[in-house]
Structure 1
Amino acid sequence: MADAKLVRGTMLLTGATMTSRILGLLYIFPFTLLVGQQGNALYQYGYLPYTILLSLATLGVPMAVSKFVSKYNALGDYRTGQRLLRSGVVFMTITGFITFLLLFLLAPVIAGWVLPSDGDPSGNSHGDVVFTIRMVSFALLIIPGMAVFRGYFQGFQSMGPTAVSQVIEQIVRILFILATSFLIIQVLDGSLGLAVGLATFGAFAGGLSSLLVLLYFWKKRKAGIQEKISESNKDHQLSLMTMYKELIIYALPLSFVGLAIPLFQAIDLFTFNDAMSSYGVNAGEAETAYGVFSRTTHALIMIPVAIATAMAVNLIPAITQANTNNDVEKMHSYMTKTFQLILFFTIPAAVGLTVLSTPAFASLYGLEDVGVGSMVLGYYAPAAILFSIFTVTAAMLQGMNRQKHAIIGLCIGLFCKLVLNFGLISSFGVLGGVLATILGYIAAVGFNIWAVGTFASYQYTHIGKFAAKITGFTAIMGMAVWIVREGGSVVFNTSAQSGFVAILVFGVLTGLLIYLILAIRTGVAEQVLGNRFSFLKTRK
């Protein structure tokens, strides 16, 4: 019964996380139509510093609190978990207030780091960036303390409160962003800076709604929890210092590795505009390119990444258990399945986005910046494979209690990105930023793959053969999609967005059909996804 509850709760939380992520990606399409690429750039100027501070304060906290509470509950000590809840909410709220003050007061300084010193009027103003950073900073007053509540519920194997609050938070945030942007720009004819700045306040609105949901669940379940506490037959009498030390040990590796993409993007945030100025473009062109690179094309390539990693990371607890039990054969089997899932989904998705970069960007974001957008997407799409492999290899290392090596891998990647970024952007423009990101992730992934192979004694021969097979299928698929794209550009009117939509639909359907036929008929789909496809497999 307990196992069934755990599985049901895990599936519920996974589904809610996926829903939240997909909503967080899809709203960017209408938001871009409202504010354009420069609006996206301004949004990133405020949101990235906020994301990094928030992640440092809270990423890993729900899972760490969950692990802590679950551990002591299993020992029959419910009082220790309750003490952690009470002190943790207070401590994290104070931490949130301090980070809010830091971000709010340092907004002019951060804005100065982000924008070129010459203040080119073709781009966003220094005041707009300060206003945007300050508006998003208010969310730090709520979300850190809320993370403790989520972790506490999860420690009781109750995933519903976290799942519901995540989805509600995202829905409210998105509705606030889109409604505010539309009202200010379309109805009140307000400025772009005002629209985007107020839109980022949606993080506070979403956080507040999520907190109210959690308080509702707490009110409903408080009596049952208090009953368990009163019946508790043990009390370890841990000091606050001891409790927080244990929490930090759980949370710190999760926090740092989970910051991989924001940290890579932070390097672009503070170097991109100056480097593009050295490349010879004005601030407006630089911000358009930054908005395309950092937000709109990034959102597209993160869709296959989110799907693939959500499916694969579900196997990580099994890897952890197998490692704990010293069952090397089973651990290797789970690792192989994880790599197969990642490669099966991300390789064709990356190639498909590369081939269909122009119709994909034009269909979703309009024709205004389709030139730079399709160029960046075409070169950036392969990074989806690297993002996914880095995520799962880092998770594998954590499951093997090799957190230190996951952090080392990330630091190697960040160092490469930092060293290469300015020079490559100054030489090749926005594509230099794409290349620096890809090279940084290649370095990080290379180290992680070496570490997994070394410390798990894992041989990659089978995965290499599997990757070669998937690459072959993808090459055939890519050629077919290229033919459809070229033919569609003749048949459909590409001076209108509807023409690109038609090309995209036919291209996606063609690629999906060919890839699935090849995968099913060769038995690869059955190998990766289970025997539900076995009836279509070619008989030997």
Structure 2
Amino acid sequence: MSEKNKMYRGTLFLTVSTFISQLLGMLYIIPFYGIMGGEENLALYGYAYTPYTIMLSVASAGVPGAVSKFVAKYNALGAFKTSEKLYKSSLVVMVTSGFLVFGLLWFLAPLIADIQLIAQSDTEVAWNKEDITNIIRVISFAVIVVPFMATWRGIFQGFESFGPTSVSGVVEQIVRITILLGGSFVAIKVLGGSIQLGNQVAVFAAFIAAISAALVLFFFWRKRKPQINKQVESDNTGIRLSYKTMYKEIITYAVPFIVIGITFPMTMFIDQLTHNNALSIAGVAEEYRDAWFGMLNITTQKLVMIPVGLASAFAISILPFITKSFQQKRFDDLENQVSSMVVMQMFFVIPAAIGMMILAAPLYTAFYSFNEMGIKILTFYAPVCIIISLFSMTASIVQGIDKQNLTVFVVLSVLLTKGLLNIPMITKFYTVGAVMSTIIALFIGVILNFIIIKKYGKFHFRKIMSTLVDIFLYGIVMLLAVEIVYLIFMMNFDVTNRAVSVALLAVAVPVGVIVYFILAFKSGLADKILGERANAIRRRVKFL
């Protein structure tokens, strides 16, 4: 199988599994929203998940991504024994790291709770220190398993094997959601427990789900091990690295992965620390602050993260191939790989973002309930998925061309911009201001990444500009078609009704998808992006 086909195959695996996981992650919020009873009750769930995500990045220490890159690099050189030495020891390191950071998060939970409460201003808040401390401690158990499991996925990816990551990701999500919904329902509706107990059961689901994913990876490992053993036995390169040398290299890879991994969680944490206080400064009544925060960091974020999740699949799949091409100094191949993946990513993400903007009202109403502020936040949040997607992809490319040290500078620029703009933007535009500051900060990060790739990867972005313009223009035509459907519904039905919103989405989304793909295939844009796969799709879908 050619390098390009391998890359597309890996991307397809990860994209499909990520789409399934993200779709499930979006759909579960509907019953969970009903079980918990509104955005303000979901705020506690958000208070736990943001510090957990940050500490998870610390626990992993960027090792999963670094291991993937290390294994891909030394496999490209034929040094399979070096790869084996690294991945065996890295799993032990990750188990140790998981236990250490679990302990750290457990003991720091009261301090983290205090910090979050201070950020809520001095008015009465729905959740006290004990509530926030307890839920952070419950979710901290997941930190024990997730780094180990994520590193194992990185090992498979370094061998250009994406099936284990894909399958384990779907299993993890199914188990998590099943326990989350079933457990919280039983706790609140059957046993008559508190909202706090329901939230605690919901976050504990992450621990059980991670164990399930690790068991799936073990199954794949037993299946693939004989082939990996043959590769190790064929190693006659003579390349042997000491543990000290190996982990010195891993650390140089890992630090930027940590920084990239915590970028978006840190922007959310900045919101968490400043949002309610900034609304207080702006004179917003206390009863709205937790609800609006829930809309910002949970309800709208769940919807936006679907296309963002697809982008992460592209970023994961491209890294081993970029690393291999760069190590073998095949710069023409590298340029083709970057071009293919960026335009393919935007081919899906741009229309998704445009569609989400125009359908923000029925989307929010269908999944939650009609809420003007929630709809407004989602309308502004939708374009964020384009910026996050580009940031993830370009950051992965920067890693692949061995300029990961510059990533630290890029991310610091993003977080500094977000930190400086957040309170002024929120006081001016309320919760929407937090979204605006995120867009500005991440856009700066994307520009800086593009500059690095152009300079050190010998990549010329003008080659893909016309393709990106075509994607955007066809997205606008799609938007007009969807808008016509939307207006017809508005003239005849009450679109604030959930059932009507569901019906509107059931009609408008297929119309938008069909219009976009007809334009893409009839114009030849799909051929440029998908290659021979475009003709294969035409044979199955006759009207294209």
Distance 1:227 1:520 in 2: 44
Structure 1 counterpart of 2:112: 110
Q: Counterparts of 1:133-144 in structure 2 under 5 Å?
A: 133-144=136-147
Question: Are 2:466 and 1:498 aligned?
Answer: no
Q: Unaligned stretches of 5+ in structure 2?
A: 540-544
Deviation for aligned residue 1:380 = 1.3
Matched, 1:291 2:294: yes
Tell me by how many angstroms 1:200 deviates. 0.6
**Cα distance change of structure 1 residues 13 and 485 upon mapping to structure 2, 3 Å threshold:** closer
- Map 1:246-325 → 2, pairs under 5 A: 246-308=249-311, 310-311=313-314, 314-325=317-328
- Alpha-carbon separation, structure 2, partners of 1:158 and 1:461: 32
Aligned residues of 2:69 and 2:323 also touching (Cα < 8 A): no
CA pair 380-317 structure 1, distance change in 2 beyond 3 A: same
Q: CA deviation at 1:80?
A: 6.1
Q: Which stretch shifts more, 428-437 or 480-489?
A: 480-489
Tell me which residue corresponds to 2:542: none
Q: Shift of residue 227 of structure 1?
A: 9.5
What amino acid maps onto 2:111 in structure 1?
V
How big is each residue's C-alpha offset from its partner over 1:315-368, in whole Å with a ceiling of 9 and x where there is no partner?
A: 45444444444444443333332332233222222221111110111011223x
**Partner deviation per Cα, 1:382-439 (whole Å, 9 max, x = no partner):** 1111111111111222222222233322221111101111121122210110111011
Residue-by-residue CA offset, 1:131-167 (whole Å, 9 max, x unaligned): 2111101112222334444455666666555544433
Residue 294 of structure 2 aligns with an amino acid whose one-letter code is G
Matches within 5 A, 1:354-369: 354-367=357-370
Mapping 1:401-420, distance limit 5 Å = 401-420=402-421
Question: Are 1:393 and 1:448, in contact at CA under 8 Å, matched by a contact in 2?
Answer: yes
Scaled by the length of structure 2, what TM-score is found?
Answer: 0.86
Maintained 8 Å contact 2:18/2:309? no
Range with greater deviation from structure 2 (208-217 or 475-484)? 208-217
The structure-2 alpha-carbon separation of the partners of 1:504 and 1:212, relative to structure 1 and needing over 3 Å to count, comes to closer
Shift of 1:258: 2.7
Worse overlay, 273-282 or 19-28: 19-28
Shift of 1:268: 1.0
Work out the CA distance in 1 between the residues paired with 2:293 and 2:66: 35
Q: Give the direction of change, closer, same or farther, for the CA distance of 1:510–1:231 in structure 2 (3 Å limit).
A: closer
**8 Å contact 2:64–2:154 — kept in the other structure?**
yes
Which segment drifts farther, 496-505 or 143-152? 143-152
Change (3 A) 1:164 1:59: farther
Deviations 1:233-284, CA, capped at 9 Å, x for gaps: 8997755433322322332222322322112112112211211222223444
Change (3 A) 1:453 1:234: closer
Query: Residues of 2 paired with 1:105 and 1:139: CA distance?
Result: 15
Larger mean CA deviation between 381-390 and 505-514 belongs to: 505-514
Q: Which residue of 1 aligns with 2:384?
A: 383
Residue 338 (structure 2) aligned to one of 335, 340, 350: 335
Identity %, equivalent residues: 38
* Per-residue deviation, 1:27: 2.4
Please state if 1:30 is matched with 2:31: yes
- AA aligned to 1:477 is M
Report matched runs for 1:8-407 at 5 Å.
Answer: 12=13, 15-35=16-36, 36-58=38-60, 60-66=62-68, 68=70, 84=86, 87-115=89-117, 116=119, 120-121=123-124, 123-152=126-155, 161-215=164-218, 239-308=242-311, 310-311=313-314, 314-367=317-370, 370-407=371-408
Q: Do 1:292 and 1:373's aligned partners in 2 also have CA atoms closer than 8 Å?
A: yes
Report 1:417-436 matches (<5 A). Answer: 417-436=418-437
Q: Following the alignment from structure 1 to structure 2, what is the Cα–Cα distance between the partners of residues 453 and 220?
A: 41
What is the TM-score of this pair, normalised by structure 1? 0.87
Residue 201 of structure 2 aligns with an amino acid whose one-letter code is: L
Moved more, 423-432 or 492-501: 492-501
Aligned AA for 2:280?
S
Structure 1 residue runs of 5 or longer lacking an equivalent are none
Report the secondary structure of 1:339's partner residue.
Answer: helix
- Give matches, 1:447-466, under 5 Å: 447-466=448-467
3-state DSSP class of the match of 2:494? Answer: coil
- CA distance in structure 2 between the partners assigned to 1:517 and 1:523 by the alignment: 10
- What letter matches 2:353 in structure 1? A
The two structures, once aligned, show a CA RMSD in angstroms of 3.5
Matching residue's letter, 2:136: I
Distance 1:382 1:217, change over 3 A: closer
Q: How many residue pairs end up in the alignment? A: 534
Change (3 A) 1:234 1:323: closer
Structure 1 residues 447 and 495: alpha-carbon distance in aligned structure 2, compared to 1, 3 A threshold: closer
Cα distance in 2 for partners of 1:153, 1:457 equals 29
Shift, 1:76, TM fit: 8.5
Q: Conserved in 2, the CA contact under 8 Å of 1:308 and 1:345? A: no
1:468-507 C-alpha deviation (Å, 9 max, x unpaired): 3333323332233223212202212335211111222222
Give CA deviations for 1:219-239 in whole Å, capped at 9, x if unaligned: 778899889989998997755
- The answer to whether residue 490 in structure 2 is matched with residue 489 in structure 1 is yes
Shift of residue 83 of structure 1? 5.6
Once residues 70 and 471 of structure 1 are traced to their aligned partners in structure 2, the CA distance between those partners, rounded to angstroms, is: 34
Indicate the residue corresponding to 1:439 in structure 2: 440
Asked if the contact 2:11–2:313 (Cα under 8 Å) also holds between the matched residues in 1, the reply is: no
Q: Which moved more, 1:519-528 or 1:293-302?
A: 519-528
Does the CA-based 8 Å contact 1:128-1:194 persist in structure 2? no
Structure 1 CA distance for aligned equivalents of residues 76 and 509 of structure 2: 49
Change (3 A) 1:236 1:341: closer
Matched to 1:125, the amino acid is: N
Q: 1:428 to 1:153 in 2, by over 3 A?
A: closer
Higher RCO by CA contacts (8 Å cutoff, separation 6 or greater): 2
Judge conservation of contact 2:29–2:367 (CA < 8 Å) in 1: no
Shift of 1:201: 0.8
1:504/1:14 Cα in 2 relative to 1: closer, same or farther (>3 Å)?
A: closer
Q: Distance in 1 between matches of 2:520 and 2:228?
A: 50
Distance in 2, Cα, partners of 1:248 & 1:458: 27
1:72 and 1:476, CA in 2 relative to 1: closer, same or farther beyond 3 A?
closer
Provide the rounded CA distance (Å) in 1 between the counterparts of 2:146 and 2:317.
25
Q: Is the 8 A contact 1:357 1:377 kept in 2?
A: yes
Task: Please give the alpha-carbon distance, in whole angstroms, between the structure 1 residues aligned to 2:217 and 2:509.
Answer: 40
Q: Structure 1 residue 463: deviation in Å?
A: 3.2
The answer for the alignment partner of 1:526 in structure 2 is 527
Farther-moved stretch of structure 1 (63-72 vs 46-55): 63-72
Classify the secondary structure of the residue corresponding to 1:106. helix
Supply the AA of the counterpart residue of 2:272.
L
Judge which range, 54-63 or 116-125, deviates more. 116-125
